[in-house]
Amino acid sequence: MTAAPDGRTGPLILGVRHHGPGSARAVRAALEDRQPACVLVEGPPEGDALLPLAADEAMRPPVALLAHAVGDPGRAAFWPLADFSPEWVAIRWALDHKAAVRFIDLPAAHSLALDPTWGDGEGDEVADQGVRIDPIGVLAETAGYDDPERWWEDVIEHRGSGDAASPFDALAEAMGALREAYGHGGHQRDLVREAHMRIQLRAARKEFGDEDVAVVCGAWHVPALTVRTGVTADRALLKGLPKVKAETTWVPWTHRRLARHSGYGAGIDSPGWYGHLFAAPDRPVERWMTKVAGLLRDEDRPVSSAHVIEAVRLAETLATMRGRPLAGLGETLDAVRAVMCDGSDVPLDLVRDRLIIGDVLGEVPPDAPAVPLQRDLTGLQRSLRLKPEALEKELDLDLRKEMDAARSRLLLRLRLLGVGWGEPSAGRGSTGTFRESWRLRWEPELHVKIAEAGAWGTTVLSAATAKAASDAASATALADITALAERCLLAELTEALPVVMRALADLAALDTDVGHLAQALPALARSLRYGDVRSTDTAALGEVAAGLAERICVGLPPACTGLDTDAAAEMRGHLEGVHTAVGLLPDGEGLAVRWGAVLRGLAGRDSVPGLIRGRAARLLLDDGRLAEDEAARLMGLALSPGTPPGEAAAWIEGFVGGASGGGMLLVHDERLLGLVDAWLTGVHAHAFTDVLPLLRRTFSSYEPGVRRTLGELVARGPAAGAGSAPTSAGVPGFGPGLDEERADGVLPVLRLLLDTDPDTDPDTDDDMDLGMDPDMDDDDLVGVGR
Amino acid sequence: MPGTAKTWVSEHLAAAVSGDSTLLVQGTAGTPEEAIRYGWNYAQLLAHGPSRDALVPSPVMRAMAEGMTARVEELTRIPADVQDTLITILSEKTLPIPELGQEVQAVRGFNLIATANDRDRGVNDLSSALRRRFNTVVLPLPATPDAEVDIVSRRVDQLGRSLDLPAAPEGTDEIRRVVTVFRELRDGITTDGRTKLKSPSGTLSTAEAISVVTNGLALAAHFGDGVLRPDDVAAGILGAVVRDPAADRVVWQEYLETVVRERDGWKDFYRACREVSA
């Protein structure tokens, strides 16, 4: 070793593991020991200008140095730094001691041009189908550990605070041996990066003197920095690299995004635990257990001091049994599970989530350069000709126009990110799905919101996608997530949609309340329709909706028994919503058959309230799945003398109630009317007052014309009903029977109304009103059309 | 949880640690305090008055005196007031004998292993004071499907021999299916990890899978052609899954309709299940 830190024979080279608290502590000790005038840190040199901000009062790690290509904010890289990152410690030490500090890695201008993949600042620790080696993994395996993390904990992190420099020596030597055996180990870009680091190191040594320079870099690079190579060879390696213009800034980061499972290559499994190890002055296990006990107490679990004592004892016993120098994360977790959580994993997950990963959110001083998200937004505002103005302004969009659709998407995405620039407002005079109205108002604090949203991504699209995915993961109510799905579809966040759909399917599978499912389904069906308008891919959505419908088919029948009047009315609403939605679903044939079976089951089961039974029978009848004889039989059963009058009245309300054409049904089918009539006359006098309000509610919602016709039919009496031809005779002002010739006269108008004539444009809403007589109400249309 | 070999583990642990697994208190609703502390030999007591000779030590007392591992089976079935005698033993490591003015001190090496079910309702739950004095380990269910299939087929084989059932050829596929159904419903997620499911109220332990398969084998041997088929296990699975007729039935139907129906090669099974579920 030419750079033995103690021997003062050259620059102090400190090989570390990114985000290792033991490394961080050792780095601080080594720097205190040597007091160098210049500290060089692995990182993009473009960030040099931002380094003084690290000492700013308002700067709180975890933060990340973000570099992005100018004009292409989507191409960006992050260098996250936490309290316990050795790099951060070195930077803060240098700033506190007025030492020069510089980044020496390959400039982001090159690395961004070389590697367009997003978000991987480190580049070197991403597993690439096993081609690249994991240096710590290899060392751990050599030492007989199966878990690299544990090996690292035992050998580096849990060392006592003895000799500051010795871990660096040993680690550098180990890495040297590895580099000899594996060369660059599949990390080809490292050669270029290391050439740049060597050049920077050389320049610093010239400027400050050999012994006054300290380098903090990944341990893997140490052997490359101590090797002797010629300047010309290094320059040759760097020659002709592609280049883009890059900008850097600080962005706030979170512990959660430091964690490995968030997709960050050099991530660690337990940022919270590492933060604790770094922050705890002494007795880390005791302090940790106290923290855990505090958390569990806040969650109303009874945890006493005796628990803490037992847990610490058990953790230490386990560590001794397993031959580890100190109780590590594994031992403390086992002890917490056995002592404080009664062996259950549920509270343990809480510990894992809140403490081991942790909720820490970093802060960045306000004078840090603007985040790329802001630039992306500015660019979009320019290209979409939407100026941010403080004055409130109305904006009407026609989604069939490309420009307006893009504007709508931008506003929707911003709303997802919590940037409330535009508020949707009720459209003026139009209900077409292709029109949208927005109320725009730009307020100064929206800039702050955008800076906050900068942590989600570098472009509006990517940030909104990440935010939607995160929202989906944390949603707990089905209604929230269907709303989110709808917003994702509208904002065209196609990449977030699979995540949202997955979360939706999971929640739907676990929800035991059929009412929730039934509420969600119509929203999904509506989303499918929106998808059609905006021509987005909705296959996944359709699949989820079909799965939801399937679950409703299974769960609805048991949920319909034992309901009181209010619950039955609510369930009737669900029934109708689901029925409409099932009809809208693609590939609904098999589903429709099963739904039909469910309705049939409901209509025929006595334990189901009359309202729902009647409704189910009616829906079946309207779909042509129930023969009219069958309907009459069901009605006869429901209205037979054995049924309590209230129940029968409810059945009638379900069957013919509401403004859904029930009256016309009675007008046209005299047999049904006869049944109702016969039942009504048979109702006992004292029961009549009970059923009267129900019946009144049923019949009063009919159109006046229908009511009059019904009254006339009833007044005429059942005698005429013997001849089953409807309007046979007796209605004043009408001749007997049908005059076919005159009836044919309405056919052209009917065709105009019902067929899609190529000459008419159904999209423009003005045309919709043409030819529609205002007196011609819905009931008539339904009655004729069926 | 029932059916996860708690007793087996505690027995082997005690034998491995202290070479003796017979210091055992069998917990029942009628377990008296004497079974945990000490009793009296009344003939001795009447003849010679109270003395150590008239004392009948319990397994726990013997374990304390000799520094061994004592075992308590089904701790939660023991009445709460009897459970409480354990509190002093575990925290002070002494067992006072006030009648003699003496006490038994625990010797180094004394340990107590107690087993209990956490899924049983209506039994004497541990007081938090006692619970705190134990380290709790929840025995896991088999981690991988292969391990579970292995356990089930081995036990089914053993049981089948002792019940004199004819040896079943090629039942492995059906056993795998039973284990898959049990695991999926238990874990609340399909094995491919793509669909979440509701879990029924039953425990669906490995032991239950063993009994479903054994039952199916008996049916196949006596009423079928000796080969384990979907029809033989369907009713058994239904009985194991649907414990609560209302809620569990919905869970089971959802599982049938959303998972089983669409799975390749499960047509027969689906049909058989539909038949018994209807």
Three-class secondary structure assignment of A348-399: HHHHHHHHHHHCCECECCCCCCCCHHHHHHHHHHHHCCCCCCCCCEEEEEEC
Longest distance between any two alpha carbons in chain B, whole Å = 79
Among A306, A310, A551, the residue with its CB nearest the CB of B258 is A551
What is the predicted pLDDT for the residue at A546?
81
What separation in angstroms does the CA of A582 have from each of A379, A498, A504? Answer: 43, 22, 18
What is the predicted pLDDT for the residue at A642?
75
- Contact A505/B at CB under 8 A: yes
Residue A40: φ, ψ to 5°: -105, 135
Shortest distance, CA B178 to any CA of chain A (angstroms): 22
Contact between chains at A342 and B131 (C-beta distance less than 8 A): yes
Per-residue confidence at A729, pLDDT binned at 50, 70, 90? very low
- Reported as type and span, the H/E element at residue A66 is strand A63-69
Same domain, A453 and A315: no
- Contact B138/A at CB under 8 A: yes
Contact between chains at B257 and A302 (C-beta distance less than 8 A): no
- Contact A317/B at CB under 8 A: no
| Chain B residues within an 8 Å CB radius of A346 | none
CA terminus-to-terminus distance, chain B: 30
Q: Are A457 and A373 in contact (CB under 8 A)?
A: yes
- Reported as type and span, the H/E element at residue A533 is helix A514-533
Same domain, A78 and A224: yes
Q: Which residue positions in chain B have pLDDT lower than 70?
A: 1, 119-122, 167-171
Same domain, A122 and A188: yes
B116: left (phi over 0), alpha (psi -120 to 50) or beta: beta
Contact between chains at B197 and A509 (C-beta distance less than 8 A): yes
> Is there a domain that residue A479 lies in?
no
Mean pLDDT of the region A740-751: 82
Q: Which residue of A506, A507, A514, A517 is the best one to mutate when testing the B interface, meaning the one whose CB has the most B CBs within 10 A?
A: A506
> Is there a domain that residue A127 lies in?
yes
- Contact B246/A at CB under 8 A: yes
Contact between chains at B247 and A512 (C-beta distance less than 8 A): yes
Cis peptide bond prior to A62, omega within 30° of 0: yes
| Chain A residues within an 8 Å CB radius of B188 | 510
Q: By C-alpha distance, which of B98, B157, B193, B94 is closest to A502?
A: B193
Q: By C-alpha distance, which of A714, A621, A643 is closest to A673?
A: A714
Question: Could you give the CA distance from residue A427 to residue A436 in angstroms, rounded to a whole number?
Answer: 6
Same domain, A112 and A221: yes
Q: Which residue of A309, A516, A551, A594 is the best one to mutate when testing the B interface, meaning the one whose CB has the most B CBs within 10 A?
A: A551
What's the mean per-residue pLDDT of chain A? Answer: 78
Amino acid at B28: T
What separation in angstroms does the CA of A763 have from each of A218, A431, A453, A778? Answer: 63, 11, 38, 21
Mean pLDDT of the region A691-698: 80
> Is there a domain that residue A77 lies in?
yes
Contact between chains at B254 and A338 (C-beta distance less than 8 A): no
Among A304, A339, A512, the residue with its CB nearest the CB of B135 is A339
| Chain B residues within an 8 Å CB radius of A338 | 135-137
E-strand spans in chain B?
24-26, 38-40, 55-57, 69-73, 94-97, 102-105, 111-114
Q: What is the pLDDT of residues A116-159, one digit of tens each?
A: 443 333 443 433 333 456 777 888 888 878 777 778 777 776 66
| Chain B residues within an 8 Å CB radius of A547 | 258
- Contact B137/A at CB under 8 A: yes
Mean pLDDT of the region A588-600: 81
**How many CA atoms are closer than 13 Å to the CA of A618, on its beta-carbon side?**
26
| Chain B residues within an 8 Å CB radius of A558 | 246, 249-250
Beta-strand relationship, A72-81 and A393-398: unpaired
What is the predicted pLDDT for the residue at A722?
43
E-strand spans in A383-522?
393-398, 422-425, 435-440
Contact between chains at B138 and A344 (C-beta distance less than 8 A): yes
Question: Could you give the CA distance from residue A585 to residue A481 in angstroms, rounded to a whole number?
Answer: 19
Same domain, A68 and A149: yes
What is the predicted pLDDT for the residue at B71?
94
For B5-139, where are the alpha helices, taking DSSP H only?
6-18, 42-48, 59-66, 80-83, 85-92, 128-132
| Chain A residues within an 8 Å CB radius of B246 | 558
Please report the residues numbered 103 through 132 in chain B whose beta carbons come closer than 8 angstroms to any beta carbon of chain A.
118, 128, 131-132
The alpha carbon torsion through A39, A42, A43, A48 (nearest 10 deg) reads 10
Q: By C-alpha distance, which of A275, A283, A281 is closest to A327?
A: A283
What is the predicted pLDDT for the residue at A312?
93
What is the predicted pLDDT for the residue at A158?
66
Q: Look-up: residue for tokens 């009047």?
A: A565
Question: Which pair of structure tokens corresponds to residue A80?
Answer: 């996250």
> Is there a domain that residue A467 lies in?
no
- Contact A676/B at CB under 8 A: no
What residues contact A12, with CB distance under 8 A and at least 6 apart? A3, A5, A30, A31, A34, A36, A211, A213, A214, A215
Q: Which residue of A297, A309, A345, A554 is the best one to mutate when testing the B interface, meaning the one whose CB has the most B CBs within 10 A?
A: A554
Other Cβ atoms closer than 10 A to A408: 23
- Contact B140/A at CB under 8 A: no
Residue of chain B nearest A553, judged by CA positions:
B254
Please report the residues numbered 112 through 141 in chain A whose beta carbons come closer than 8 angstroms to any beta carbon of chain B.
none
- Contact B253/A at CB under 8 A: yes
Going A180 to A185 to A188 to A192, the CA torsion angle's sign is: negative
Secondary structure class of B105 (helix, strand, coil): strand
Mean pLDDT of the region A50-66: 84
Q: Are A73 and A252 in contact (CB under 8 A)?
A: no
Same domain, A255 and A109: yes
Shortest distance, CA B118 to any CA of chain A (angstroms): 10
pTM value is: 0.67
- Reported as type and span, the H/E element at residue A14 is strand A12-16
Q: Are B75 and B130 in contact (CB under 8 A)?
A: no
Q: Are A226 and A2 in contact (CB under 8 A)?
A: yes
Same domain, A296 and A256: no
What is the predicted pLDDT for the residue at B16?
92
Q: By C-alpha distance, which of A330, A360, A25, A315 is closest to A153?
A: A330
What residues contact A646, with CB distance under 8 A and at least 6 apart? A687, A690, A691, A694
Contact between chains at A338 and B258 (C-beta distance less than 8 A): no
Contacts A–B by Cβ distance under 8 A: 54
Please report the residues numbered 30 through 69 in chain B whose beta carbons come closer than 8 angstroms to any beta carbon of chain A.
none
Question: Which pair of structure tokens corresponds to residue A15?
Answer: 């090989």
Contact between chains at B195 and A509 (C-beta distance less than 8 A): yes
Contact between chains at B250 and A558 (C-beta distance less than 8 A): yes
Residue/partner pairs of A597-603 with CB below 8 Å, 24 or more apart: A597/A553, A598/A553, A598/A556, A598/A557, A599/A625, A600/A625, A600/A626, A601/A557, A602/A556, A602/A557, A602/A560, A602/A575, A603/A634
Q: What is the pLDDT of residues A603-617, one digit of tens each?
A: 888 888 888 888 888
End position of a domain, from candidates A411, A436, A462? A462
Going A271 to A274 to A279 to A285, the CA torsion angle's sign is: positive
Q: What is the pLDDT of residues A469-479, one digit of tens each?
A: 888 888 888 87
Domain containing residue A663: 627-730
Q: Are B12 and B57 in contact (CB under 8 A)?
A: no
Which residues on neighbouring strands pair with residue A69, listed in sequence order?
A72, A246
Shortest distance, CA A493 to any CA of chain B (angstroms): 22
Contact between chains at A307 and B132 (C-beta distance less than 8 A): yes
Q: Are B220 and B229 in contact (CB under 8 A)?
A: yes
Share of chain A above pLDDT 70, in %: 83
Q: Which residue of B6, B9, B17, B136 is the best one to mutate when testing the A interface, meaning the one whose CB has the most A CBs within 10 A?
A: B136
Question: Could you give the CA distance from residue A52 to residue A54 in angstroms, rounded to a whole number?
Answer: 5
What is the predicted pLDDT for the residue at A713?
82
Share of chain A above pLDDT 90, in %: 5
> Is there a domain that residue A4 lies in?
no
Q: What is the pLDDT of residues A174-187, one digit of tens each?
A: 888 888 887 766 66
Mean pLDDT of the region A571-579: 87
Mean pLDDT of the region A779-784: 39
A605: left (phi over 0), alpha (psi -120 to 50) or beta: beta
Mean pLDDT of the region A99-111: 86
Same domain, A724 and A744: no
Question: Could you give the CA distance from residue A733 to residue A410 in angstroms, rounded to a whole number?
Answer: 62
Residue of chain A nearest B199, judged by CA positions:
A510
> Is there a domain that residue A536 lies in?
no
Amino acid at A366: P
| Burial state string for A53-78 with b = 16 or more CB within 10 A and e = fewer than 16 | bbebeebebbbbbbbbbeebbebbbb
Contact between chains at B254 and A554 (C-beta distance less than 8 A): yes
> Is there a domain that residue A524 lies in?
no
- Contact B144/A at CB under 8 A: no
Contact between chains at A302 and B128 (C-beta distance less than 8 A): yes
Per-residue confidence at A353, pLDDT binned at 50, 70, 90? confident
What is the predicted pLDDT for the residue at A288?
93
Question: Which pair of structure tokens corresponds to residue A154?
Answer: 């035992």
Residue A287: φ, ψ to 5°: -65, -40
- Contact A512/B at CB under 8 A: yes
Same domain, A674 and A757: no
Q: By C-alpha distance, which of B107, B13, B26, B97 is closest to B63?
A: B107
Same domain, A290 and A351: yes
**Roughly what angle, to the nearest 10 degrees, separates helices A670-682 and A704-716?**
70
Among A306, A343, A551, the residue with its CB nearest the CB of B254 is A551
Q: By C-alpha distance, which of A306, A315, A260, A258 is closest to A284?
A: A315
Shortest distance, CA B206 to any CA of chain A (angstroms): 19
- Contact A316/B at CB under 8 A: no
Mean pLDDT of the region A378-386: 84
- Contact A780/B at CB under 8 A: no
What is the predicted pLDDT for the residue at A117?
43
Same domain, A65 and A193: yes
Among B135, B196, B253, the residue with its CB nearest the CB of A510 is B196
End position of a domain, from candidates A698, A730, A762? A730
Helices then strands (H, E): number in chain B? 12, 7
Number of domains in chain A: 5
Question: Could you give the CA distance from residue B183 to residue B143 in angstroms, rounded to a whole number?
Answer: 10
Shortest distance, CA A539 to any CA of chain B (angstroms): 17
* Greater pLDDT, A449 or A466: A466
Question: Which pair of structure tokens corresponds to residue A317?
Answer: 């016993």
Same domain, A722 and A747: no
What is the predicted pLDDT for the residue at A482?
82
Question: Could you give the CA distance from residue A558 to residue B246 in angstroms, rounded to a whole number?
Answer: 7
Q: Look-up: residue for tokens 């999904």?
A: A524
Contact between chains at A551 and B188 (C-beta distance less than 8 A): no
Q: Look-up: residue for tokens 């005299």?
A: A670
Please report the residues numbered 150 through 179 in chain B whose beta carbons come closer than 8 angstroms to any beta carbon of chain A.
none
Secondary structure class of B114 (helix, strand, coil): strand
> Is there a domain that residue A292 lies in?
yes
Question: Could you give the CA distance from residue A398 to residue A295 in angstroms, rounded to a whole number?
Answer: 52
Question: Which pair of structure tokens corresponds to residue B264?
Answer: 């390749």
Among B118, B132, B258, the residue with its CB nearest the CB of A547 is B258
Shortest distance, CA B182 to any CA of chain A (angstroms): 17
